[in-house]
């Protein structure tokens, strides 16, 4: 509300580039109008400048801090004609509230100007800085009212504010009058303007203000009841211009209502035990606890002397074996002169489960009541509690003691984890000066080899070596690190000597002092840092560095083929989400035991992990069940449809930590049960998929089916236009294309990011095991695997089989296997030669009809990992053992020799194939390089004759003749290869020059 508002939004309109000329003389006189939450600001006009520079700062009040993320900041550019005519449109920029950053993190961002319609002629970019400042709320209401009565239509950039209140009011009226008079003249001028094609002008896209309309404001702030009507009209414009469709608003507002519509409601019996009241005490110190008994289920509350527990217990109703609930209160008493404790029952109260009321959210929680405890020994005692029947959608479920997941064990509770925010840190080593070596290396200082080493936490990267042949050794090399928030305190840069392995000096750079940048348009300033040696050498020279945190990249922390997030690291570059992903984790069936319980029988404690983007979710662990039911639903914002959702099932081995001689054992590892991947682009929009997926895990003994997982998935979109437009945009942010990282460097950084994410999630409470994170991120895809190599080989063969089938079909036509088809091809050849303009229309129409016909045969279910495609059923035991072997290997020398020989055989076949492919290109190159003078001479004579022939013979006649000759009957065709094939195979390659 306005009374408690302590946030201000600042928008710096810096400059624009390459604007579209609009004044008929090759220039434009541009000004900007900034709208936010009903507040409007206008910059000065820069006359006759296609690259105007404003550098104006405008201030806006944020009325509702919580709703700021859903607001839209809009900046419209116009050409000021100054002749009474309507200003022409130069472009607009919309900035989502989710990209606003706090003061100190802002940077100059260039936004491309958007069109008003498909017919608008717009180009150029607008540079903005957008940030907010949180201030303490004013102490009294009078101060608030006085600050809120500032004329919000007046730009903040004015140097002299009005001196008194009368001048303020007159200024407001004057500005309102100007704004109301201006749009009256503009519509007529728009009809006469010929600079733009005819458009249907939209009122919300014009600088003019609409006629006054009533605005409905929910819970209007008291301090703003007197604000000008001009602001209310601008507020309605901003709401219209917000890039949210009706579906968007419905999806966002219905998240709570649709929180459990993809899963089944599971009935739970809830018991809230609040406190107890004891009539009298026999003296001594005593504490009390409550005990709940339902059939074979028995649980105690915490024992304390205050008699207030306020604990909630949730019993899975399907697992109950009784129709009554008994709640008893016990007192633990210790006499003053005795060491032993005695437990006395203060009474019991019973409930018939068939009479327990039901509660369905969003009903308010059931109020606890006092119940009298029945007891013959100590009457008059009471207990306050509440009992009701609910589902997992109840607000008390997450914090309640849960019977199906082991009670209040932290390792078995449902949790949401977030991956750390990752940045690329670019360290550019330029040169060093005034290096001072120690006395031992001083005589050799002119011949030393130096390199620079950068270290950020455990990451160490080095530059190349350079010889100290001058006073200023120069490198000009980039070292790129992965930095995770919160950052390491220091970046350590060390200059080291290669000859003796000693450090010449080092510099520690505070991470807080490193500049963040979002693109390549703003160059980071280089700085000199002093190098420090040991205690005897406080100064050993200085080093010239350029350091920046690159926010324009997306830091890849998962395998490229299963990526789930492609957003840039900088918040300013974030785009609004295009959809919503909802996942309902329902149940699993026929799970196999993976461990033993009590040393007698097999069991499994299963839970599910789902990962999409930086958000990880883990369901509660269902203990000792082969058909667990979770029925938990989660949501994610979707920013790109061509991303992958990963879901894994694991056995919980970390929640049991037995004592061994008074010392807790280290937690065990979570065993993998199976994994499911779903690509969002294969899902239909707004359709719920409820599918059972087979869980297959690869073990050293082979592939094994561990059971089935049932999940429900729905991908909803806010705007069809944004969804379709995303297919035309690059997958990765702009910096990946204008300043790309090398493949080897990117692979190293990816695995570094994986290790950072694994370490950070392992430090959570409760921890997510590193084996879980690595399995979900596919961190072992870079390791050699004979199985994966065979699978990829057969994938290539599968892709080429289509071309082979087409070539075989073409050969059957050529050999007259089916004469009617060959005759039809001859007719088609004649039609193509006589009417070549029909070739492309016929091809595209044929493709349209084929694809439309195959629409009915599309897959109705979402895709999953295919064991046959992964080649898990056709691999030997030794090859599987090789895949599970660590790096470096831990196998015997004889076993490694066998595997090496097998790898050499496979590499030999690949070597021959690569040589054959290279030979074909070398033969073609030899034809033009006169490596075989006679062959090239024959080809020269052939080219001369062909040129004369095509001068005399029309191309249509040649094409028709060649087609009939090529499709001639086999009785007119010889068995030997053709003359061109013989000639090409005789051309020399470089194979004979290989050693």
Q: Rounded to whole angstroms, how far apart are CA atoms 223 and 200?
A: 39
Euclidean distance between CA atoms 422 and 752, whole angstroms: 11
Q: How confident is the model at residue 302 (pLDDT cuts 50, 70, 90)?
A: confident
| 231 falls within a domain | no
Burial classification of residue 438, based on how many CB atoms lie within 10 Å of its CB (0-12 exposed, 13-18 middle, 19 or more buried): middle
860 burial level (CB within 10 Å; 0-12, 13-18, 19+)? exposed
User: Which helix or strand (DSSP H or E) is residue 698 part of?
Assistant: strand 688-699
Instruction: Report if residue 313 sits inside a domain.
Output: yes
- 842 and 961 within one domain: yes
Q: Residue 81: is the preceding peptide bond cis (ω within 30°)?
A: no
Domain span at residue 527 reads: 419-438+446-548
| Co-location of 800 and 764 in the same domain | no
Assess if residue 917 is contained within a domain.
yes
Task: Tell me the pLDDT tens digit for each residue of 543-570.
Answer: 999 999 999 999 998 887 888 999 999 9
Q: Which residue has the higher pLDDT, 156 or 602?
A: 602
pLDDT exceeds 50 at position 222: no
Distance CA 569, CA 753 (A): 13
Does the pLDDT of residue 211 top 50, yes or no? no
How much is the pLDDT for 440? Answer: 56
How confident is residue 758, by pLDDT bands cut at 50, 70 and 90? very high
CATH number, domain containing residue 125: 2.60.40.150
Q: Confirm whether 147 is domain-assigned.
A: no
* High-pLDDT (> 70) share of the chain, %: 80
Q: Which of 408, 634, 434, 685 is nearest to 540 (CA)?
A: 434
pLDDT category of residue 281 using cuts at 50, 70 and 90: low
Asked if residue 59 and residue 25 are part of one domain, the reply reads yes
Residue labelled with tokens 């979109």: 717
Q: What is the DSSP string of 483-497?
A: EESSPPSEEEEEEEE
- Final residue of a domain: which of 548, 579, 603? 548
Who has greater pLDDT, 185 or 813? Answer: 813
Categorize the per-residue pLDDT at 514 as very low, low, confident or very high, splitting at 50, 70 and 90: very high
279 pLDDT exceeds 50?
Answer: yes
Q: Between these two residues, 820 and 657, which has the higher pLDDT value?
A: 820
Q: Residue 793: pLDDT above 70?
A: yes
What's the pLDDT at 831?
81
Residue 774 three-state SS? helix
Q: For residues 121 and 736, which has the higher predicted lDDT (pLDDT)?
A: 736
Q: Quote the CA–CA distance of 929 and 932 in Å, as a whole number.
A: 8
Percentage of residues in the chain having pLDDT higher than 90: 29
Which one has a higher pLDDT value, 924 or 793?
Answer: 924
Q: What is the mean pLDDT of residues 419-440?
A: 87
For the residues 812-830, what does the mean pLDDT come to?
84
Residue 250 predicted with pLDDT over 70: no
In tens, the pLDDT along 316-327 reads 888 888 889 999
Is residue 917 located within the same domain as residue 987? Answer: yes
CB-based burial of residue 27 (10 Å sphere; 0-12 exposed, 13-18 middle, 19+ buried)? Answer: middle
| Rg from Cα positions in the chain | 38
Give the count of beta carbons closer than 10 Å to the beta carbon of residue 335.
Answer: 14
pLDDT on residue 911: 77
Q: What pLDDT does residue 63 have?
A: 86
Strand 268-277 relative to strand 308-316: parallel, antiparallel, unpaired?
A: antiparallel
Q: Which residue has the higher pLDDT, 491 or 669?
A: 491
Mean pLDDT in residue range 721-740: 88
**Residue 223 placed within a domain:** no
Residues 744 and 822 in one domain: no
For all residues of the chain together, what is the average pLDDT?
79
State the pLDDT confidence band at 339, using cuts at 50, 70 and 90: low
At 623-646, the pLDDT tens digits run 989 999 999 999 999 999 989 999
User: Do 953 and 886 share a domain, yes or no?
Assistant: yes
CB 128 within 8 A of CB 91: no
- Structural contact between residues 300 and 333, judged by C-beta atoms closer than 8 angstroms: no
Task: Report the relative pairing of strands 7-17 and 125-134 from DSSP bridges.
Answer: antiparallel
DSSP codes of every residue in 149-194: TS-TTS-TT-SS--SSHHHHHHHHHHHHHHHHHHHHHHHHHHHH--
Q: Determine phi and psi for 383, rounding to 5 degrees.
A: -135, 140
What was the pLDDT predicted at 254?
47
State the average pLDDT over residues 362-390: 87
Give the per-residue pLDDT at 662. Answer: 47
Cis peptide before 439 (omega within 30 of 0): no
Provide mean pLDDT across the span 512-517: 91
- Window from 78-87, 97-106, 577-586, 891-900 with minimum mean pLDDT: 78-87
Whole-number pLDDT of residue 240: 38
DSSP string covering 367-422, please? PPEEEEPB-SSS-S-EEEEEEEEE-TTSTTTTTSEEGGGTBS-GGGS-EEEEPPPE
Residues 51, 80, single domain; the answer is yes
What is the pLDDT at residue 234? 37
Q: Look at residue 152 and tell me if it is in a domain.
A: no
594's CB contacts (< 8 A; 6+ apart) are 602, 604, 651, 671, 673, 706
Q: Indicate the residue among 752, 775, 798 that finishes a domain.
A: 775
Residue 701 in tokens: 């003994």
Q: Is pLDDT of 81 > 50?
A: yes
Pairing of strands 615-618, 606-612: antiparallel
Task: State the pLDDT confidence band at 223, using cuts at 50, 70 and 90.
Answer: very low
What are the tens digits of pLDDT across the range 583-598?
999 999 999 999 888 7
Distance, in Å, from the CA atom of 838 to the CA atom of 848, rounded to the nearest integer, reads 15
Q: How confident is the model at residue 864 (pLDDT cuts 50, 70, 90)?
A: low
**Residues 776, 568, 756, 696: what is their CA dihedral angle, to the nearest 10 degrees?**
10
Q: Please state the rounded mean pLDDT for residues 13-33.
A: 88
Rounded to an integer, the average pLDDT of 389-402 is 89
Q: Is residue 648 part of a domain?
A: yes
Residues 600 and 678 in one domain: yes
pLDDT of residue 666: 66
With residues binned 3-state (H G I as helix, E B as strand, rest as coil), the percentages for the chain, rounded to 5, are: 30, 30, 40
pLDDT of residue 52: 93
Average pLDDT on 933-944 reads 88
The per-residue pLDDT for range 139-193, each reduced to its tens digit, is 444 433 333 444 333 333 333 333 444 444 444 444 444 444 443 344 333 333 3
User: What would the pLDDT profile of 523-549 be if each residue is shown by its tens digit?
Assistant: 788 999 999 988 788 888 899 999 999
pLDDT at 369 > cutoff 80: yes
The total number of structural domains that make up the chain: 5
Determine which of 80-94, 101-115, 148-162, 679-693 has the lowest per-residue pLDDT on average.
Answer: 148-162
Same domain? For 532 and 638 the reply is no
The reported pLDDT for the residue numbered 757 is 94
Strands 702-717 and 688-699: antiparallel
Residues 384, 431: one domain?
Answer: no
Per the domain annotation, does 563 fall within a domain? no
Q: Which helix H or strand E contains 629, and what residues bound it?
A: strand 629-638
How many C-beta neighbours within 10 Å does residue 548 have? 19
**Same structural domain for residues 649 and 500?**
no
3-state secondary structure of 653: coil
Do 603 and 676 lie in one domain? The reply is yes
pLDDT for residue 202: 39
Domain boundary among the residues 746, 775, 804 is at 775
> Residue range 392-410: average pLDDT?
87
d(CA 265, CA 361): 12
């Amino acid at each position: 509300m306005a009374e408690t508002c302590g946030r201000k939004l600042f928008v710096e309109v810096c400059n624009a580039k390459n604007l579209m000329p609009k004044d008929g003389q090759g220039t434009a006189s541009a000004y900007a109008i900034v709208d936010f939450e009903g507040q409007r600001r206008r910059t000065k006009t820069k006359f006759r400048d296609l690259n105007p520079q404003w550098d104006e700062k405008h201030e806006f009040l944020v009325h509702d801090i919580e709703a700021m993320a859903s607001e839209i900041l809009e900046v419209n550019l116009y050409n000021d004609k100054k002749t009474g005519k309507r200003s022409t449109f130069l472009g607009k920029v919309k900035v989502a509230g989710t990209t606003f950053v706090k003061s100190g993190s802002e940077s100059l961002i260039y936004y491309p100007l958007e069109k008003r319609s498909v017919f608008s002629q717009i180009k150029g970019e607008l540079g903005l800085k957008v940030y907010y400042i949180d201030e303490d709320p004013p102490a009294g209401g009078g101060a608030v009212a006085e600050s809120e009565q500032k004329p919000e239509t007046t730009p903040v950039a004015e140097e002299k504010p009005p001196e008194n209140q009368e001048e303020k009011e007159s200024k407001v009226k004057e500005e309102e009058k100007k704004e109301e008079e201006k749009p009256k003249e503009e519509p007529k001028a728009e009809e006469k303007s010929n600079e733009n094609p005819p458009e249907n002008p939209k009122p919300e896209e014009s600088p003019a203000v609409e006629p006054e309309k009533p605005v409905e404001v929910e819970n209007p702030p008291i301090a703003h009841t007197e604000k000008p009507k001009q602001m209310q009209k601008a507020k309605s414009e901003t709401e219209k211009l917000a890039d949210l469709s009706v579906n968007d608003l419905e999806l966002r507002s219905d998240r709570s209502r649709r929180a459990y519509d993809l899963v089944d409601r599971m009935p739970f019996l809830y018991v809230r035990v609040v406190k107890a009241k004891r009539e009298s005490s026999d003296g001594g110190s005593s504490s009390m606890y409550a005990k709940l008994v339902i059939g074979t289920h028995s649980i105690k509350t915490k024992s304390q002397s205050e008699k207030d527990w306020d604990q909630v217990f949730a019993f899975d109703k399907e697992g109950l074996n009784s129709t009554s609930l008994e709640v008893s209160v016990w007192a633990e008493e210790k006499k003053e002169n005795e060491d032993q404790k005695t437990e006395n029952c203060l009474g019991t109260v019973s409930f018939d489960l068939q009479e327990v009321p039901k509660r369905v959210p969003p009903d308010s929680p059931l109020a606890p009541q006092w119940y009298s405890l029945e007891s013959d020994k100590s009457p008059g005692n009471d207990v306050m509690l509440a009992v009701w029947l609910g589902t997992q959608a109840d607000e008390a479920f997450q914090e309640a003691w849960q019977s199906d997941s082991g009670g209040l064990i932290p390792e078995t509770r449902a949790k949401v984890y977030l991956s750390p925010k990752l940045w690329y840190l670019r360290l550019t080593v330029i040169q060093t000066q005034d290096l001072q070596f120690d006395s031992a290396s001083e005589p050799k200082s002119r011949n030393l080899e130096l390199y620079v080493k950068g270290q950020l936490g455990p990451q160490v990267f080095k530059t190349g070596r350079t010889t100290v042949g001058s006073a200023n050794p120069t490198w000009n090399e980039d070292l790129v690190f992965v930095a995770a928030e919160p950052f390491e305190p220091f970046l350590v840069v060390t200059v080291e000597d290669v000859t003796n392995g000693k450090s010449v000096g080092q510099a520690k750079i505070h991470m807080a002092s490193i500049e963040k940048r979002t693109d390549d348009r703003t160059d980071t300033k280089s700085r000199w840092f002093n190098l420090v040696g040991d205690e005897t050498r406080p100064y050993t020279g200085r080093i010239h560095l350029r350091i920046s945190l690159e926010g324009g990249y997306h830091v890849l922390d998962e395998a490229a083929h299963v990526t789930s997030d492609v957003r840039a690291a900088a918040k300013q570059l974030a785009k609004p989400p295009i959809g919503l992903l909802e996942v309902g984790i329902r149940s699993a069936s026929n799970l196999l035991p993976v461990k033993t319980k009590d040393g007698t029988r097999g069991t499994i404690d299963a839970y599910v992990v789902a990962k999409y983007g930086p958000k990880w979710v883990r369901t509660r662990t269902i203990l000792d069940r082969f058909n667990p039911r979770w029925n938990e639903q989660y949501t994610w914002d979707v920013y790109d449809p061509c991303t992958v959702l990963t879901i894994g099932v694991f056995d919980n081995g970390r929640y049991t930590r037995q004592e061994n001689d008074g010392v807790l054992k280290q937690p065990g590892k979570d065993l993998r049960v199976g994994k499911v991947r779903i690509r969002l682009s294969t899902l239909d929009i707004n359709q719920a998929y409820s599918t059972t997926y087979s869980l297959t895990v690869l073990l050293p003994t082979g592939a094994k089916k561990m059971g089935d997982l049932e999940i429900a998935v729905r991908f909803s979109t806010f705007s069809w236009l944004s969804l379709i437009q995303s297919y035309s945009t690059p997958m990765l942010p702009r910096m990946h294309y204008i300043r790309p990282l090398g493949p080897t460097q990117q692979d190293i950084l990816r695995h570094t990011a994986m290790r950072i994410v694994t370490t950070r999630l392992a430090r959570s409470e409760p921890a997510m095991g590193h084996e879980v994170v690595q399995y979900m991120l596919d961190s072992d895809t870079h390791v050699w695997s004979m199985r994966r190599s065979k699978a990829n080989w057969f994938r290539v063969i599968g892709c080429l089989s289509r071309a082979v089938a087409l070539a075989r079909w073409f050969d059957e036509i050529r050999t007259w296997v089916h004469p009617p088809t060959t005759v039809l091809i001859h007719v088609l050849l004649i039609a193509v030669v006589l009417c070549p303009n029909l070739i492309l229309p016929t091809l595209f129409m044929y493709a349209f009809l084929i694809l439309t016909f195959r629409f009915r045969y599309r897959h109705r279910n979402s895709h999953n990992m295919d064991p046959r495609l992964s080649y898990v059923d056709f691999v030997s035991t030794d090859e599987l053992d090789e895949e599970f072997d660590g790096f470096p290997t831990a196998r015997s020398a004889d076993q490694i020799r066998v595997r090496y020989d097998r790898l050499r055989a496979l590499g030999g076949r690949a070597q021959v194939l690569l040589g054959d492919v290279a030979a074909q290109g070398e033969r073609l190159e030899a034809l033009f390089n006169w490596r075989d003078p006679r062959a090239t001479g024959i080809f020269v004579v052939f080219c001369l004759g062909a040129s004369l022939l095509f001068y005399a013979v029309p191309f249509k006649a040649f094409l028709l003749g060649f087609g009939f000759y090529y499709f001639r009957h086999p009785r007119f065709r010889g068995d030997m290869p053709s003359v061109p094939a013989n000639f090409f195979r005789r051309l020399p390659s470089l194979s004979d020059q290989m050693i």
